[in-house]
Amino acid sequence: MSEKKYAKAAFAGGCFWCMVKPFKEWDGIEDIVSGYMGGHVENPTYEDVKKGDSGHLEVVEITFDPSLFTYEQLLELYWQQIDPTDAGGQFHDRGHSYSTAIFYYDDEQKMAAEQSKKQLGESNRFKKPIVTVVRPAETFYRAEDYHQDYYQKEQSHYKEDRAKSGRDEFINDHWT
């Protein structure tokens, strides 16, 4: 019996609370951790990131088994969770920390992400250009414990926040 080989992927898609559940429900997804990446401050707190003082984006770091759920499948699912044409944040969450990005861990991920972005742009699904950036992964900082699996811990608040965000309406308008 061979040992499972896991890989990592990191995506910024606005509020990380809304980015966990869509990935969590698939075979081959081993773990999803909410956190911060891409800034200039070591060990940022949620307040640092939210104020914009650290330069970080809210991200989810996904540990997955590529033999069960490929990186290309992750990319496809990622695009369906965001507005890739909005450089100012996502839905009702505004500012740099809520902007979108694909953080790649190796050249294969970089090529797959760039190809996926190009294909989405050429699909004419959106009237505006795709502005989601593809950039190298940096140090990942795990968010505070109360942010982990927020959709399960604080179900009513999560549902209320997601409902008023406009994310679901956008997804329904563009992907269903």
Catalytic residues: 15
In order, the DSSP letters of 85-148 are: T-TTEETTEESGGG-EEEEESSHHHHHHHHHHHHHHHHTT-SSSPP--EEEE----EEPPGGGT
User: Is residue 11 within 8 Å of 101, Cβ to Cβ?
Assistant: yes
Q: Write the CA distances from 74 to 10, 11, 40, 71, 156, integer angstroms.
A: 10, 10, 27, 5, 27
CA 115, 15, 51: angle at the middle one, nearest 5? 115
What is the distance between the alpha carbons of residues 44 and 55, in angstroms, rounded to a whole number? 9
What is the distance between the alpha carbons of residues 151 and 87, in angstroms, rounded to a whole number? 25
Q: Which two three-digit tokens encode residue 42?
A: 């070591």
Residue 52 has φ and ψ, to the nearest 5°, of: 90, 10
